[in-house]
Chain A
Amino acid sequence: MFTISQLFNYIQSDLGNIITYTIEHAQLVGLAILIAIIIGVPLGIYLTTNEELAETILQIASIFITIPSIALFGIMIPILSNIGQGIGFLPALIALVLYSQLPIIRNTYTAINNVDPNIRDAAKGIGMTNFQRLIKVEIPIGMPLIMAGVRTATVLNIGIGAIAAFIGSGGLGVLINSGISRGNTNMVMTGAIFVSILALIADFLLKWIQKKATPKGIQ
């Protein structure tokens, strides 16, 4: 059990570490999201040209995302330990990138697919190439939905990133992990609170960006 004042005392005394863990956490999630966007957005766009594959990929991704993260780690450790990377940053990063794929691919695919066919026709009509149409018309119009996918993925990843601490990825989950093994409730609570705040801030920030990214005309 804990008291508020003890909690504050702990946070004050260990602030340096807490900040380090927070930064570590943000770095892991940030890098994972960046890679996920680089893979997922082009893939989502490509899938709009291949309905068969889109159905397959979205189906696979939606089954994959139901796999509990701790179970995925449990499966990945034996596999990746074949290349000497069973625990640590890399398996965590791979897992986070994989979990981000469904929200990012699905939202990109839907965003581009949902662009009003009339608008698309108009763009064709004034002589835009496919690529110009994509860059100048379809992506800007689909931006809010794509960003919503990125937001979902980020919030999800912050949570999974906390669990990844158990396989040695660092981050705020370390506080929860060590707190539990040392029986230090204040440490556990601090980890829980900071990781929640991180998720809430990310959610809020990305919602704001999502709003900013929405073209004025379709707000």
Chain B
Amino acid sequence: MNAKKTLATTTKIILWLLVIVFFWWALSNHMFSKIVEQPAQFISLLETHLKLVSISAGIAILTSIPLGILITRPKFRKFEWLIVNTANLGQTIPSLAILALAMGFLGIGIKAAIVALYIYSLLPILQNTIAGLDSVNPATKDAAKGMGLTSTQILFRVELPSAAYSILAGVRTAVVLNIGTAALAYLIGGGGLGVWIFTGIQLFDNSFLISGAVPVTLLAVIVDLLFRGLQLLLVPKGLRLARKAAIDSV
């Protein structure tokens, strides 16, 4: 029993040590020098990166959640399988391919990059919105209807709160993938922190590589953690209990 715990703790410690050693090594070899030497350039690349992500993911959220709601209404239910299958299929297409295809159709530039990132973010959110709304217990909806709630009231008071966990998980996945894919936007002229990474690869220059790659990594990891926190914060307590009860009963 105790040996098992020790193993887990040791693993954690080794991992943290590796991270610390890496940063110590990178710092002592001046691999973050680009950030120190060209802070204005760094800020501008970071700004472009965040712009790419927030515009494309923002529009993706604003379109895919309403679309997911619409497609799960009785009137449009018959198209649900089509949308779900398209979303599944679409998600097997690699991010680089989507960027390349966007370039083929729209040419080089930030617009093509935003369109590609938008399409890439759309699918996980749409898929999770539909899955979340579909997982609401039909008996719960029936009871709500029977008590005289309008369909809008059922949507906002019951269905969306119940689907919140799943929808937020979709948004988290989409945004985190988006941050990574935006690092490829450089390839089609979109800018962002990818500029330094690719420059580093082409010049075989460690300081460009690390100055670009580490911030992108931290951005992705931190945003992921922030969204996980948000999930805990925004998802009604009763639902977390419900999820836990469902898992425990398995």
Interface residues of A (CB under 8 A from B): 1-2, 50-53, 55-57, 60, 63, 66-75, 77-79, 81, 86-87, 114, 155, 158-160, 162-163, 166-167, 173, 176, 179-180, 185, 188-189, 191-193, 195-196, 199-200, 203
Q: What are 26 A-B pairs with beta-carbon distances under 8 A?
A: A50-B8, A51-B4, A52-B7, A52-B8, A57-B11, A66-B176, A68-B216, A70-B180, A70-B183, A70-B213, A71-B216, A72-B217, A73-B201, A73-B213, A74-B212, A74-B216, A155-B92, A180-B100, A188-B103, A189-B101, A192-B98, A192-B104, A193-B101, A199-B92, A199-B94, A200-B89
Assess A159 versus B206: contact at CB under 8 Å? Given A71-B180, A71-B216, A77-B200.
no
Most buried by B among A68, A163, A166, A199: A68
Residue of A nearest to B6 (CB): A52
Report the tally of A-B residue pairs with Cβ distances under 8 A: 155
Is A114 a contact partner of B209 (Cβ separation < 8 A)?
Answer: no
Residues of A within 8 A of B26 (CB): 78
Separation in Å of the A133 CB from the closest CB of chain B?
20
Contact call B97/A162, Cβ cutoff below 8 A: yes
Which residues of chain A are near B101, meaning CB under 8 Å? 189, 192-193
Q: How far is the CA of A14 from the CA of B209 in the complex (A)?
A: 33
**In angstroms, how far is the closest chain B Cβ from the Cβ of A100?**
15
CB-CB contacts of B157-190 with A at 8 A, as 1s and 0s? Answer: 0000000000000000000100111011001100
Tell me whether B100 and A188 are in contact (CB under 8 A). yes
A195 and B11 form a contact (CB under 8 A): no
Q: By the criterion of a CB under 8 Å from any partner CB, how many residues of chain B are at the interface?
A: 50
Contact A176 B96, CB 8 Å, known A70-B183, A185-B104, A189-B104:
yes
Q: In the docked arrangement, what's the CA distance between A69 and B217, Å?
A: 9
Given A53-B11, A188-B104, answer yes or no on A74-B94 (Cβ-Cβ < 8 Å).
no
Output the nearest chain B residue to A177 by Cβ-Cβ distance: B187
Taken residue by residue from 7 to 33, chain B's Cβ proximity to chain A (1 for < 8 Å, 0 otherwise) reads as 110011001000000100010000100
Residues from chain A with Cβ under 8 Å of B204 in the complex: 77, 86-87
B80 at the interface (CB under 8 A from A): no
Question: B180 touching A75 by the CB < 8 A rule?
Answer: no
Are the CB atoms of B217 and A75 closer together than 8 Å? Answer: yes
Q: Which chain B residues lie closer than 8 Å to A60 at the CB level?
A: 11-12, 15
Residues of B within 8 A of A191 (CB): 97, 100
Contacts of B224 in A (CB 8 A): 63, 66
B216 touches A189 (CB 8 A): no
Residue in B11, B92, B209, B220 whose CB lies within 8 Å of A74 = B209
Q: Is the interface of A mostly helix, strand, loop or mixed?
A: helix
- The chain B residues found within 8 Å of chain A, CB to CB, are 4-5, 7-8, 11-12, 15, 22, 26, 31, 89, 92-98, 100-101, 103-105, 107, 176, 179-181, 183-184, 187-188, 194, 197-198, 200-201, 204, 206, 209-210, 212-214, 216-217, 220-221, 224, 250
Residue of B nearest to A188 (CB): B100
Distance in angstroms between the alpha carbons of A165 and B183 in the assembled complex: 15
CB neighbours of B214 from chain A (8 A)? 71, 74-75
In whole angstroms, what is the CA distance A27 to B23 when docked? 34
Starting from the known contacts A73-B213, A188-B103, 5 additional A-B residue pairs (CB-CB under 8 Å) come to: A53-B7, A71-B183, A162-B94, A189-B101, A199-B97
Which of A51, A185, A200 sits near B92, CB closer than 8 Å? A200
Instruction: Tell me, in angstroms, the Cα distance from A75 to B209 when the chains sit together.
Output: 7
Q: Shortest beta-carbon distance, B87 to chain A, in Å? A: 13
A72–B213 Cα distance when bound, in Å, is 7
Contacts of B89 in A (CB 8 A): 200
**Which residue of chain A has the shortest Cβ distance to B188 in the bound complex?**
A180
Q: Which of A74, A188, A199 contacts B201 (CB 8 A)?
A: A74
A93→B225 CA distance, assembly (Å): 28
Q: In the complex, A193→B104 CA distance in Å? A: 11
Given contacts A71-B197, A75-B210, contact A195 B97 (CB under 8 A): yes
CB proximity of A105 to chain B, nearest CB, Å: 13
Distance of B86 from chain A, by nearest CB (Å) = 12
CA distance A73 to B11 in the complex (A): 24
B217→A71 contact, CB < 8 A: yes
